[in-house]
Chain A
Amino acid sequence: MTGPLSATGVTRVFANGAGVFDVNLPLIPGQVVTLVGLNGAGKSTLMRLLLGMLRPDSGSVRLAGRLLPQAPAEAWAKVGHLVEYPLAYPELSTRRNLQLSARLRQVTHIDAAVEGIITEFALDQYADRRVRSLSLGNKQRVGLAAALQHDPSVIVLDEPTNSLDPAGVIRLRESLLRRADDGAAVLVSSHHLDEVARIADRIVVMNAGRLIGDLDAATPEIERAFFEMVRIDDERVGR
């Protein structure tokens, strides 16, 4: 089954031998997929491949059924992403950053989109402040707002809860669940298994560049189940 964004047999190996290997991952409309794994498991690399920041050595990534290099602008306009750093320029205010992001994403009603997302992420009191002066958590909120303000149908977020306070985590969770309910395909990577279990329709475990299986969100002691899965995989390949 192919979704609006999908990886098929994707391999990308770096000079040091690390990378991702033969990954198949379709994102499905209305489904929140979470990617969990230890540091260096390849989560960010996979997300970069899905967003065209890296090209696969083999396999393919498709957006709206087209290979990424051929994907039309209209398809990219429906993608919202945040990988590693928020698209937030320190010299500009929160509002100006969101306007900038909205324009680059071809949003038609920019003011409405910007004011709406400012309210959704409780950024009102920071709207006219330069991003330079914001805390790390609020910068992250600005980046998430920039990624989601155009109501994308494909959402890819790498460790989105990084630096967020509990209120921010709850707002993000509600925002993602609402968008998934509205039909968005969501991919989120995280270290926080308990948080992941609250929102995920599917929890995919990544280890050493490979997808090694799924975890059931209802599993009691999900962290123990995760480590067991990784341990068995490491033993199987002799690591």
Chain B
Amino acid sequence: MRAAIWAEGVKLAGSTVGRVGSVAIVIGVSVLSGSMLLAAHSDDPQLLAKLGPVATGDWTGFLLGAAQITGAGGLGGFAVVLAWIVGREFGDGTITGLFALPVRRSTIALAKLLVYGVWAVAMSVLLGIALFLVGTLAGLGPLTEAHWAALARQIALGVMSAAIATPIAWAATLSRSVLGGVSVALGLVVLAQVSVLAGLGGWMPLAAPALWAVSGGTAVTPIQLLLLLPFTGMAVVATALTWRRMQLDR
């Protein structure tokens, strides 16, 4: 397992996709959140109306905006990187080299997901730090206990957004392409939005993390949030089993 983890870590660290994905998630979300903060200080009533509860111009509105962006954009960023981690082996043709090794293919698949998970946690923590710095530099003042809790929820949202993207690994495997994984990612984002509109949000693992973070933890119960575990677990198991049983027959 250690060899596979090392290999996957080296590949992600050396890749343009990994670097761009990291920048998009940490810097992209921070800059967008900062822009919303700037907009909140605008005198334009139409713009303020569009921003809604984000328009308070304080830590509460700033972190609310960041959570909204992370819920959709962050998920997209995580999904693209995961689709690449898995799907690139088929696109680059390197999958043939991952057969006939002393390391099982299911182990390689799990190593991919583990490296992705560690990277996603690191990005979520870095995003939390970046948001703290942006808010501080913007003069929002010291964080209250409630703001610290919101910042912690933001970091947790990042991790959970990465977790709900795990079916992308299975999709990229089944489709044998990066694009297949990305297409499913778009589908998941749409499904999450539809499920919120249909009133199923809390019970839909794809939507629950964002709802939880945006509502300050009130709109989603702990049990609903815990559904993420079997959801992610099933995606991990399905991906590992598919890699284990894989044949290069197409």
Contacts and interface: CB of A to CB of B under 8 A. Distances in A.
Contacts of B249: 14, 54
Nearest to B247: A54
A106 B3 contact: yes
A105 B102 contact: yes
Q: How large is the interface on A (under 10, 10 to 19, 20 to 34, 35 or more residues)?
A: 20 to 34
Contacts of B101: 76-77, 104-105
A228 interface: no
Tell me the dominant secondary structure on chain A's binding face.
loop
A143 B97 CA distance: 9
A96 interface: yes
Contacts of B97: 81-82, 85-87, 101, 143, 146
Interface residues of B, number: 24
A50 to B, nearest CB: 9
Given A55-B247, A96-B10, A87 B98 contact: yes
A73 interface: yes
B176 to A, nearest CB: 13
A52 B100 contact: yes
B16 interface: yes
A107 to B, nearest CB: 10
Contact of B100 (A14, A51, A88, A90): A51
Contact of A92 (B11, B93, B103): B11
B97 to A, nearest CB: 3
Given A76-B102, A85-B96, A53 B247 contact: yes
Interface in A101-117: 101, 103-106
Contacts of B11: 89, 91-92, 100
Interface string B57-95: 000000000000000000000000000000000001110
A83 B96 contact: yes
A155 B124 CA distance: 45
Interface string B137-157: 000000000000000000000
Nearest 10 A/B pairs, CB to CB: A87-B97, A85-B93, A73-B102, A103-B3, A77-B102, A51-B100, A53-B248, A76-B102, A91-B14, A83-B96
Interface of A: 14, 48, 51-55, 73-74, 76-77, 79, 81-92, 96, 100-101, 103-106, 143, 146, 156
Interface of B: 3-4, 6-7, 10-11, 14-16, 92-94, 96-104, 247-249
